[in-house]
Amino acid sequence: MPIRGIRGAVPVRTNSKAAIHAATRTLLRRLLAANRIPVEEIAGVVLTATPDLNADFPAYAARGLGWSGVPLLCAQEIDVPGAMPRLVRALLLVNTTRAQREMTHVYLGKAASLRPDLSGKRSR
């Protein structure tokens, strides 16, 4: 079965454990809902946070959703001058027979400006 990638990003209000977890949970739930994906079809997730978000790991939010069997990896985004601050990004790798063009990417709030070509739209 092919693996497809689904991207998303969400701004985080403050550098706190609660804010990082809340934003990450919202993003992950929206990604699954937009793509009608059961957790069992997730092959793995890469989560990144901007350098100004260091109060906790975004992956703990996924564990809090019950994703105990999903391989998760957290990393820090490259610290590019002028880049959008306080942002969590996600790359879901899912097992699916659907084509890549059928995947819907989710960019919430001001993160939608990062990829206006993909915000709430299917891949091209």
What are the pLDDT digits (tens) for 60-103? 999 999 999 999 999 999 999 999 999 999 999 999 999 999 99
Task: Please choose, from the candidates 15, 30, 9, the residue with its C-alpha nearest in 3D space to the C-alpha of residue 86.
Answer: 15
Report if residue 16 sits inside a domain.
yes
Residue 115 is among the residues annotated as catalytic for this protein: yes
CATH code at position 15: 3.30.1330.40
Name the residue range of residue 40's domain.
3-114
Report if residue 121 sits inside a domain.
no
Which one is catalytic: 77, 98, 101, 122?
A: 77
Number of H helices, E strands in the chain: 2, 5
Report if residue 122 sits inside a domain.
no
Domain tally for the chain?
1
Residue 25 is among the residues annotated as catalytic for this protein: no
pTM, to two decimals = 0.93
What are the pLDDT digits (tens) for 15-68? 999 999 999 999 999 999 999 999 999 999 999 999 999 999 999 999 999 999
